Structure 1
Amino acid sequence: MTEGQAAERLAGLSDRRRELVTRLLAQKAAATAIPRLPRTGAPLECSHEQRRIWLAAQATPDAAPPNVTLGVAVTGELDLTRLSAALSALVARHESLRTRYTAIDGLPCQVVRAAQPVPLEFVDLTCLPEQEREAEALTLSLAAAAERFDLAHGPVLRLTVYRLGPLEHRLFLVCHHIACDGGSVGLVAADLAALYSGSDVPPPPSPEYADYAAWSVERARERAPKRLPYWQERLAGVEPVFPRIPHKPGTGRGSATTYSRIGRDVVDALRESGSTTPFIVLLSAYLVLLHHLTGRRDLVVGMVTSGRGRRETEPVVGCFINLVPLRVSLPDDFPALVGRVKEAVAGALANEIPFDTLVSGLGAHRLPGVHPAFQAAIVHRDDPAPPPGWEGLDARLWDHEVDDASFDLGLTATPRGTDYDLALTGRLARYTPGDLAGLTERLLAILREPAL
């Protein structure tokens, strides 16, 4: 029943019955709500998502998820004093942005700190020729995106302003993934703009992320024993999609990305023919590409889920994403593959548990340098909204892609207007930029003429 239908049904009841039903609904909501924990200054439990990121950063820093970034290009009279105050207010508003992390018995815990001023970095590029300033800002911001944070002491975010001219600035915010995910970037952008503009903002969210973390760990503790057998059966006998390779001297330990674009009409034509979603179509094409690469028909890829399954979490800044393996046996034709992918996604989501719990439950031997359960992944992002209003400024998105070395091969698909932007990222130890460019062309060819 939708909220509108529920309200309509309530309106048709007598006053007494309506009051009773309203009270019962409120009691039910309170019983299932995420409880608010007392803030005493003592360490609080980390979520499974935070544990996974923290442990990855401790074990193999190069394989940890990349930082989350937000770029905004602004034209007009930028007030740095107002911007600095807005940044401090943003951090005061969201606990996850003023949290530090400490280890207890080998596992991370989070300690929420009182609000403190956050340094605002300012880089004046007007000393350069005008035609070089934008490119230099891009270069500097990409380097800033790769800089690591001290999670034990903080802060976990930084904001840099690149001055290109008296009325031209680029704002670049970088935040550690343990404190913010891609779904939180829109919240951060909206709040920062509102605070800069002096607009009214709602009260800080309740519950906050630390409350969600404790609640989600308890929920996983209840669900995992029931759902783990599904994964043990589903992933039995899985072998790495890519063989482990030693580090090649001179190649670096990072990754490279190639970008392409394909019309939504191409994706929609495949989607409509199979009565499915664009994500299923893109995932199916990605599996065909992996089949061409490996010669295998039994493949496992990872998908990233948003993790925001409850309304209370919608205004909360934090790390909610989870990694979910998908095992698919490729048939002989693309329409049949689309059907199998739909079934695999539905089964995986119905049995979703935290990725670290899943990996531990499988009990498989971990290979150094090999991502557990899958080595190729896909991310489908929402169409990015234009930046919200900044008083006295014309603001627009200043996009940046951060290369992610977590997986051997990763595909990120982002709808933009009438097109899909596709970013294919591969480890430099396995692929050269030229290799990735060739793989991108093959992926586009598969989408235009899908065949196994």
Structure 2
Amino acid sequence: MSTGLISTGQEGLWLAHQLDPDSSAYNVVLAVRLRDPVRADVLQDALTALVLRHELLRSRFPGTDAGPTRVTDPADSVRLDVRDVPGADEEELFRLARRAAEEPFRLADEGAFRAVLLRGAPDDAVLVTVTHHIVSDATSQWLLVRDLFAEYGARTGQGGATRPPAPTGWDQHVCAEREFIASPRGERSAAHWRDLCRGLPAAALPTDRPRPEQPTLNGATAELTLPAITSRRLREAAAERALTPFAWLLGTFQSALHRCGAGDAFLVGCPVTTRFTPATREAVGYYVNSLPVAGRFLPATTFLETFEAAQRQLRTGIAHARHPVELLPGGADRGPLFRIVCTLIAVDRLPIPGLYEDRVRLGGLRAELCDVPQQEGQLDLAVEVLQNSAEFRAVLRYNTDLFDRETVERFRDTWRRLIDVSLDTPAARVADVGLVAVDDLARLIALGAGAP
């Protein structure tokens, strides 16, 4: 057992955990259905090798009078949780996987990682890997599953050579963060964020219920899938104007917030990776910072202006992404920097090619994604835009103590309408777009007139 350092972002996540230790809102999950017999003893050996390589997976986070600390335990302290559920069908396995994903962590005593093997039959099981966000991010969850099955395959003669220990540990990353913050470059980044955020509130939609005095973490999920033809038009329209598809989607997202009552000027957060070195690209950890992106709307603001502003801010922001925005001044009087975030995940670039869309082989085993809900209720609204070669799908996770599902679905539909209109007429003014399609408007007018 040894002690280690924690980053600024980890401190914030630890504090969030103290406010509601029984919540699963910060659980990051990747579950895979395995269609071949799994040797639990070999999987345990592979798990031990995995956590030896990635020290955060065997770390605990007790509190002290000076704040949170990190304690690293021996690799064999992390045990595979095997749960036999004979005869469980597809629906039951999914329900049990979701339940395993939602079990809260005891960060001080039990750590922030668990692996649960649900065995419904000798050749049918679900492996649920769950981390608390304090030790992981989206890329990390796929890295750890990739590395786990590489170790498993190496032990069963099914390919997947074992990987050497990570070249650097978490303490080196935290030291580099602290050195950057104290450097002239860090001071310039802090000044950039202060200037951008000055006078702007966090974007917030009108809620269905009063905001509780104590933040809550209860949530649910809605989705928006753009068909292949719309996704292709989006890529083509963005490329024609030297924009990224995400800048286009973010601009329409900000426009939807504006039209749905968030105001004329506000901040949204765009979480991005801070894996800037070869040593961090293969490591499991919380390598995330959120870039503040300002939305500003006048009566004459066009879609194209919002897209260009979003892209400009994202490109500039990446240059300052190493400075944690949690360190910006403000405190309770200012309120949170973000209540709403939007991020892009290129699923075709994740560390396990093909798993998101199809069945693959992991360590010699046939495997497919078991897509259980997760990370619901962290903020008012947190949106992940999932991009693959064919389409864009947005996952909208929202706080159910603030919003009814119908409210979030109306916002989603508004966003979708603004995407469609912007593809037809990028130079249109955001304020001029009718939020009800022409056919729907005619039907509503007919209903209001008593027409059959």
| TM-score greater than 0.5 by the shorter chain | yes
Structure 1 residues 405 and 221, CA gap change in structure 2 (3 angstroms): farther
The alpha carbon displacement at 1:197 in A equals 0.9
1:376 partner letter: I
Tell me, in whole angstroms, the C-alpha distance in 2 between the residues paired with 1:159 and 1:113. Answer: 16
Tell me if structure 2 keeps the 8 A contact 1:425–1:436: no
Q: TM-score, normalising length from structure 2? A: 0.82
Tell me, in whole angstroms, the C-alpha distance in 2 between the residues paired with 1:117 and 1:273. Answer: 54
Tell me, in whole angstroms, the C-alpha distance in 1 between the residues paired with 2:78 and 2:191. Answer: 46
1:365 partner letter: D
2:203 partner letter: V
SS of the aligned residue for 1:116 comes to helix
Partner deviation per Cα, 1:180-204 (whole Å, 9 max, x = no partner): 1111122212111111111422310
The alpha carbon displacement at 1:71 in A equals 1.1
Tell me if structure 2 keeps the 8 A contact 1:274–1:338: no
Partner deviation per Cα, 1:342-375 (whole Å, 9 max, x = no partner): 22223323333102212xx2456154xxxx1121
Tell me, in whole angstroms, the C-alpha distance in 1 between the residues paired with 2:375 and 2:57. Answer: 23
In the alignment, which of 335, 338, 350 is matched to residue 319 of structure 2? 350
Q: After the TM superposition, which residues 84-123 of structure 1 pair with which residues of structure 2 at under 5 Å, given as runs?
A: 84-123=44-83
Tell me, in whole angstroms, the C-alpha distance in 1 between the residues paired with 2:389 and 2:189. Answer: 39
1:236 partner letter: R
Tell me, in whole angstroms, the C-alpha distance in 2 between the residues paired with 1:323 and 1:65. Answer: 18
SS of the aligned residue for 2:33 comes to strand
For structure 1, which segment, 388-397 or 84-93, has the greater mean C-alpha deviation from structure 2 after superposition? Answer: 388-397
The alpha carbon displacement at 1:62 in A equals 7.4
Structure 1 residues 121 and 139, CA gap change in structure 2 (3 angstroms): same
Q: Which residue of 2 aligns with 1:233?
A: 195
Partner deviation per Cα, 1:249-285 (whole Å, 9 max, x = no partner): xxx8511111221132132133124311121111111
Partner deviation per Cα, 1:48-106 (whole Å, 9 max, x = no partner): 12111112212344788521111111111221221122112211221111112233443
Tell me, in whole angstroms, the C-alpha distance in 1 between the residues paired with 2:310 and 2:362. Answer: 43
Structure 1 residues 221 and 43, CA gap change in structure 2 (3 angstroms): farther
Q: Which residue of 2 aligns with 1:30?
A: none
In the alignment, which of 389, 413, 431 is matched to residue 361 of structure 2? 389
Tell me if structure 2 keeps the 8 A contact 1:305–1:322: yes
Q: Which residue of 2 aligns with 1:48?
A: 8
Structure 1 residues 60 and 240, CA gap change in structure 2 (3 angstroms): farther
4+ runs deviating over 6 angstroms: none
In the alignment, which of 316, 322, 328 is matched to residue 295 of structure 2? 328
Residue 167 (structure 2) pairs with residue 206 (structure 1): yes
Partner deviation per Cα, 1:107-156 (whole Å, 9 max, x = no partner): 2221222222423223333345xxxx222222222222222212222232
Between the aligned residues of both structures, percent identity stands at 25
Q: Which residue of 2 aligns with 1:10?
A: none
Q: After the TM superposition, which residues 135-150 of structure 1 pair with which residues of structure 2 at under 5 Å, given as runs?
A: 135-150=91-106
Q: After the TM superposition, which residues 369-388 of structure 1 pair with which residues of structure 2 at under 5 Å, given as runs?
A: 372-383=336-347, 384=350, 385-387=353-355
Partner deviation per Cα, 1:265-319 (whole Å, 9 max, x = no partner): 1321331243111211111111111011116221210000111011121111111
In the alignment, which of 245, 267, 276 is matched to residue 300 of structure 1? 267
Q: Which residue of 2 aligns with 1:68?
A: 28
Structure 1 residues 51 and 295, CA gap change in structure 2 (3 angstroms): closer
Partner deviation per Cα, 1:144-170 (whole Å, 9 max, x = no partner): 222221222223211112223332211
Q: Which residue of 2 aligns with 1:272?
A: 239
The alpha carbon displacement at 1:333 in A equals 1.1
Tell me, in whole angstroms, the C-alpha distance in 2 between the residues paired with 1:92 and 1:307. Answer: 23
Residue 268 (structure 2) pairs with residue 312 (structure 1): no
**Structure 2: runs of 5 or more not aligned:** 155-159, 423-427, 431-452
Tell me, in whole angstroms, the C-alpha distance in 1 between the residues paired with 2:188 and 2:12. Answer: 22
For structure 1, which segment, 435-444 or 45-54, has the greater mean C-alpha deviation from structure 2 after superposition? Answer: 435-444
Structure 1 residues 126 and 162, CA gap change in structure 2 (3 angstroms): same
Q: Which residue of 2 aligns with 1:424?
A: 396
Tell me if structure 2 keeps the 8 A contact 1:161–1:169: yes
Q: TM-score, normalising length from structure 1? A: 0.82
Q: Which residue of 2 aligns with 1:338?
A: 307
The alpha carbon displacement at 1:439 in A equals 2.1
In the alignment, which of 138, 163, 166 is matched to residue 182 of structure 1? 138
Tell me if structure 2 keeps the 8 A contact 1:97–1:157: yes
Structure 1 residues 224 and 107, CA gap change in structure 2 (3 angstroms): farther
Tell me if structure 2 keeps the 8 A contact 1:193–1:389: no
Q: Which residue of 2 aligns with 1:435?
A: 407
For structure 1, which segment, 224-233 or 405-414, has the greater mean C-alpha deviation from structure 2 after superposition? Answer: 224-233
- Size of the aligned set, in residue pairs, is 400
In the alignment, which of 90, 105, 125 is matched to residue 85 of structure 2? 125
Tell me, in whole angstroms, the C-alpha distance in 2 between the residues paired with 1:299 and 1:446. Answer: 19
Tell me if structure 2 keeps the 8 A contact 1:328–1:344: no
The alpha carbon displacement at 1:172 in A equals 0.8
For structure 1, which segment, 61-70 or 158-167, has the greater mean C-alpha deviation from structure 2 after superposition? Answer: 61-70
Tell me if structure 2 keeps the 8 A contact 1:54–1:178: yes
SS of the aligned residue for 2:110 comes to coil
2:327 partner letter: T
Tell me, in whole angstroms, the C-alpha distance in 1 between the residues paired with 2:73 and 2:381. Answer: 37
1:357 partner letter: L
Partner deviation per Cα, 1:311-340 (whole Å, 9 max, x = no partner): 121111111111221112135211111111
Q: Which residue of 1 aligns with 2:370?
A: 398
Tell me if structure 2 keeps the 8 A contact 1:134–1:164: no
SS of the aligned residue for 2:394 comes to strand
SS of the aligned residue for 1:169 comes to strand
Tell me, in whole angstroms, the C-alpha distance in 2 between the residues paired with 1:71 and 1:93. Answer: 21
Tell me, in whole angstroms, the C-alpha distance in 2 between the residues paired with 1:87 and 1:115. Answer: 9
